[in-house]
Structure 1
């Protein structure tokens, strides 16, 4: 039976599928904690047009915002403090999942931590004024369960930000637009500084790209090596638009996000550098090195294998951190014979 793009993403490892990350359960209901940076409601009406083309209109600026963790991480860096999050935010040891970025998970309620988990009763009790989530499929809000979608959308207006087919700079710009409408100061020193770092790191990346490095970006599973398809990933689109030569698979799986290869075919594509998915659901580097065909790849033998932070927050700060680390790694690499 053909799989939908949504179920493909959830089952095959694309963007937060959490194939092996154990569930921690939803956070217990708690008092909503906001901070001094949370904007107050405006006196006049509030409008925002999301990437579904949907115009959200409210009599005043919303302040009680619930967001999927990726959206929460982006908004947090712009100064907007959601009252609750849903999606992977807490690790088994109680620590903060990298996907939630700088969000202080002790100061927000948690409505769900794994796929298809969303505490609707707690959501209603929070009296939300807006729900924000990213979208990989237009019209489908990421981590909003299909079974409770209709109820959730009746409680408060929703806004969706499209990721697929967009570059990171476009997605960051859309989150910046949303944050500004919610009362964020985009000229705040921390935002301006992060934007300058983002631009400087992008310029450095362009210089590195001019050296001709060929890069393979991939994720590993027990029996499968997934070669990612650059146009489907905002961060990789940013890299290719900066001039970096990233391998594009000659045939992609249903869903379009990557090509599945057996580990016996790990040498299908030549590359000077390999960037591997460093999320918790993917195989660790030491596990992949046990695969003989992977260990024999020229880039691996040359030690030119570096982590790929596949879910950096879509903010200037999130991408400045991501790109600065990537630039530092790529500066250590060279073209192979």
Structure 2
């Protein structure tokens, strides 16, 4: 498929985007852009969410920084003029509810008169399903299977085998959390996060934080972490999350970085799974 041929893609809101030619200048939310880059589609710019500041968050960036992809600013505060200067012919965002884009005001894209694709990263899809959707989008932009997708998938399968073996030999309990500072912590509900569901399917013993308000997180104090007594803590390493410090994590617990916005690509998740396996095996 050449760039001069018609292009169409239906996103996870059920919205079909069409263009007279295959889009060549993609601007994307950081998470989506990092995934597309892994899949062989280099964005001309990326933007953050309301959590992000003036600079690109290294934890969310994947290979974007090394590739020199410009960071345009944070999400709904993004200057429309900056976006226009990037001259995109497609914007790619993510969606958690299947209704609207997560990070960017859809009206901004409408004023530019270009398509917006929003792909689901919520728990209505399995992790393989999420990866498949990003691969499908990348393939549509390249005119076939995403470059490197085959080897990336193989690498992910190998990483899952390593993790499955490590989990099978380990009795360690694993708690995922995001620090909110000295006064509070957000404990992840494993069933709400596709990558945590996948960890559990591979044999990782994930800790449920227990009853309380919140669909994705139980927000509580750090004392609850001590009560749960996890052997391993997956801590949110994004820039806006408070580092784990010594608030209430048991001294013996192993700390493993976790990006709840890992780029949806086989390569990125292979790295994460191998990291978890390493800590389970050590």
Q: What is the TM-score with the length of structure 1 in the denominator?
A: 0.74
Instruction: Select between 245-254 and 71-80 the one with higher mean Cα deviation.
Output: 245-254
Whether 2:101 is the aligned partner of 1:151: answer no
- C-alpha distance in 2, partners of 1:140/1:271? 36
Whether 2:209 is the aligned partner of 1:261: answer no
- C-alpha distance in 1, partners of 2:129/2:275? 21
Distance 1:241 1:271, change over 3 A: same
8 Å Cα contact 1:195-1:316 kept in structure 2: yes
**One of 251, 265, 281 as aligned partner of 1:315:** 265
Q: Which residue of 2 aligns with 1:36?
A: none
**One of 80, 84, 88 as aligned partner of 1:124:** 84
The number of residues matched between the two structures is 277
Q: What is the TM-score with the length of structure 2 in the denominator?
A: 0.87
Show CA shifts across 1:71-108 (max 9, x none). 1000001110111211179987x776231211147744
Q: Which residue of 2 aligns with 1:225?
A: 185
Q: Which ranges in structure 2 are unaligned for 5 or more consecutive residues?
A: none
**What is the RMSD of the two structures over their aligned residues, measured on CA atoms?**
2.6
Whether 2:15 is the aligned partner of 1:54: answer yes
- C-alpha distance in 2, partners of 1:268/1:196? 39
Q: Which ranges in structure 1 are unaligned for 5 or more consecutive residues?
A: 1-38, 333-337
- C-alpha distance in 2, partners of 1:142/1:111? 16
- Name the SS for the 1:67 alignment partner: strand
Q: Which residue of 2 aligns with 1:234?
A: 194
CA radius of gyration, larger in: 1
Distance 1:304 1:127, change over 3 A: closer
Whether 2:169 is the aligned partner of 1:193: answer no
Whether 2:41 is the aligned partner of 1:76: answer no
- C-alpha distance in 2, partners of 1:123/1:284? 32
- C-alpha distance in 2, partners of 1:40/1:96? 34
Distance 1:264 1:126, change over 3 A: closer
Instruction: Select between 154-163 and 237-246 the one with higher mean Cα deviation.
Output: 237-246
Q: Which residue of 2 aligns with 1:103?
A: 64
**One of 51, 55, 66 as aligned partner of 2:27:** 66
Using the TM superposition, give the Cα deviation of residue 179 of structure 1 relative to its aligned residue in structure 2, in angstroms: 0.2
Q: How does 1:146-185 map to 2 (within 5 A)?
A: 149-155=106-112, 156-165=114-123, 166-183=125-142
Using the TM superposition, give the Cα deviation of residue 269 of structure 1 relative to its aligned residue in structure 2, in angstroms: 2.1
